[in-house]
Amino acid sequence: MPQLIRSSVTPLYHQLAQTLRTQIRSGAIPAGQQLPPERELMEIYHVSRNTVRLAIDALEREGLVDRDQGRGTFAAEPKLQLGVMRLTSFTEDMLERGLTPSSRLVECRTELPPPAIAEKLQLLPNEPALLVVRLRYADAEPMALNSSYFSLAQCPTLASEDLEQGSIYDLLNRRYGITLAKAEQTVRARNATPQEAGLLNVKAGTSLLVVEGTVFSTDNHAVEHLRSLYRSDRYEFRVNPLRIA
Ligand code: GLP
């Protein structure tokens, strides 16, 4: 059994989720087979019950396991995704690709967003939002530049959190009880400006994938307006379209 790395900046539950994910995806734990019970996972990986629960929660959200009250947790039958991209955090996305995520905070300030963004974020007139710009790394190499406005009505103290460590989507859930449900996004290409190129460590003019949109919570509040720039030499989108009659 691979052991978890306690000194890593990647939280233990992410590491445990990744280990179990790999076992499920590779067929080492086939669909329908029961995962070891909580207590056994705690002993095998030397982690707390909470760590095991957070890891299983993440796998459940991804549709990789099903919990059956009283019977245990089982590897799920693979589900087809209906032509949609799953809404993942950068952290989850990288871990699923077998890469180690990290971040550098470039900017964090409260300001009035441009009117079009304020409207998408469902803000009141003159209501500010929190702009967070993070350079996102995968295996210590720049992968993406995330610029997001967060609604302060939804997460009023986000600016005082350590936004350089870990996942903002996790923070939204743990601190503010926000469960993200869906996003409305577009993906297009454009060339990097000299400043973006400098941050992303590519030549100016290199083409980038630009993802832009709004993320909503389960209670239908707009939580984040995002613009993420991905290096097209390192990143590809994964979609599973279905042809339906
Ligand atoms: C993706 C989204 C961003 C979002 C980020 C959160 O990259 N495109 O809009 O801010 O995930 O990632 P994390 O939870 O790892 O901070």
**Rounded to 5°, angle at Cα 100 from 94 and 102:** 95
Beta strands in the chain (DSSP E): 65-68, 72-75, 101-111, 129-138, 141-151, 180-191, 207-217, 222-231
Beta-carbon contacts of 124 under 8 Å, excluding residues fewer than 6 positions away, are none
Is 38 strand, coil or helix?
helix
CA–CA dist 232, 209 (Å, integer)? 6
Hey, what are 167's tokens? Answer: 């996942």
Write down the pTM of the prediction: 0.72
Q: Is the CB of 10 within 6 Å of ligand 1?
A: no
How many Å apart are CA 75 and CA 24, to the nearest integer? 7
Q: Could you tell me if the CB of 137 is within 6 A of ligand 1? A: no
Q: What is the pLDDT of residue 158?
A: 97
Ligand 1: atom nearest CA of 170 is 14
Which residues touch 161 (CB under 8 Å, ≥6 apart)? 171, 175
Give the distance (Å) from ligand 1 centre to CA of residue 172.
Answer: 11
Give, using CA atoms, the residue closest to atom 4 of ligand 1.
Answer: 89
Cα-to-centroid distance, 219 and ligand 1 (Å): 19
Rounded to the nearest whole angstrom, what is the distance from the C-alpha of residue 169 to the centroid of ligand 1?
7
Predicted confidence pLDDT, tens digits, the chain (245 residues):
667 888 888 889 999 999 999 898 888 999 999 999 999 999 999 999 999 999 999 898 878 899 988 889 999 886 655 556 779 999 999 998 889 999 999 999 999 999 999 999 999 999 999 999 999 999 999 999 999 999 999 999 999 999 999 999 999 999 999 999 999 999 999 999 999 999 999 999 999 999 999 999 998 999 999 999 999 999 988 877 777 66
Distance 85 CA to ligand 1 centre (A): 14
Pocket lining: 102 vs ligand 1, CB cutoff 6 Å: no
Which own/partner pairs from 35-44 qualify as long-range (CB within 8 Å, at least 24 positions apart)?
35/65, 35/72, 35/73, 35/74, 35/75, 37/72, 41/16, 44/1
Q: For residue 102, give the 3-state DSSP assignment.
A: strand
CB atoms within 10 A of CB 228: 22
Residue of 125, 128, 123, 131 lying closest to 222 (CA atoms): 123
Residue 226 near ligand 1, beta carbon < 6 Å: yes
Sorted by sequence, the CB contacts under 8 Å of residue 165 that are 6+ apart come out as: 9, 103
pLDDT of residue 77: 80
Extract the tokens encoding 112.
Answer: 């009035």
